[in-house]
Copies of this chain bind each other. A is one copy, B any other.
Amino acid sequence: MSDLEYLRSLIKAVPDFPQEGIMFRDIFPIFQDPRAIEMLVSHIVNHINETIKEKIDVIVGLDARGFLFGPMVALRLNAAFVPSRKKGKLPGETLSADFKKEYGVDTFEMQVGAIKPGQNVIIMDDLIATGGTAAAAGRLVEKSGGKLLEYIFLIELADLNGRKNLTAPIYSMITF
């Protein structure tokens, strides 16, 4: 079984979470299996080493599930890990970017100065659905003066076509 097949087999489908009609993809079983954690991190690092020529300066991880594996990838690449979080969670001076939710608007933030102008950045999250939070994170990288090289997602929900909202290349490991 390949590493992606193994990771896919661990992801648990949980119906009607967080709301009715939504099939949630639970990635926490991956983190309960150290072999799988290693597969996940290695796969991403190998992908980056094989396809991206530039030195990666920053991995941006989206709160909270992006925190689970973003720092590990950053460590392997000798890069910084920078979080993006919902409004009010990050201390100090922050940049913000709004994104549309099903009803209304929400705001993502990043600390000022966390990304330095000109740095090469990759944004990571566990899953892309509509692409709203990913697009907001991309704007935060832009506001920081960073250069967004790619989005990397463990899971892509194909039907929602979130990738149409994103203006950087996308690599998704598993598609549902």
Interface size grouping (class) on chain A: 35 or more
Q: Is A44 an interface position by the 8 A CB rule?
A: no
Q: Are B74 and A31 in contact (CB under 8 A)?
A: yes
Q: What are 19 residue pairs bridging A and B, where the CB atoms are less than 8 Å apart in the complex?
A: A12-B91, A14-B92, A18-B88, A26-B92, A28-B83, A31-B74, A31-B83, A32-B82, A32-B114, A34-B75, A34-B78, A34-B80, A37-B71, A37-B74, A64-B67, A67-B68, A68-B71, A71-B72, A72-B75
Per CB-CB distance, the 5 closest pairs between chain A and chain B, nearest first, are A64-B64, A14-B91, A67-B67, A32-B80, A31-B81
Seen from chain A, the residues whose Cβ lies within 8 Å of a Cβ on chain B are 12, 14, 17-18, 24, 26, 28, 31-34, 37-38, 41, 63-65, 67-69, 71-72, 74-75, 77-83, 85, 88-92, 111, 114
For residue A14, which residues in chain B have a CB less than 8 angstroms away from its CB? 91-92
User: Which one of B28, B31, B71 lies within 8 Å of A31 (CB-CB)?
Assistant: B71
Which residue from chain B places its CB closest to the CB of A74 in the assembled complex?
A: B34
CB distance from A11 to the nearest CB of B (A): 11
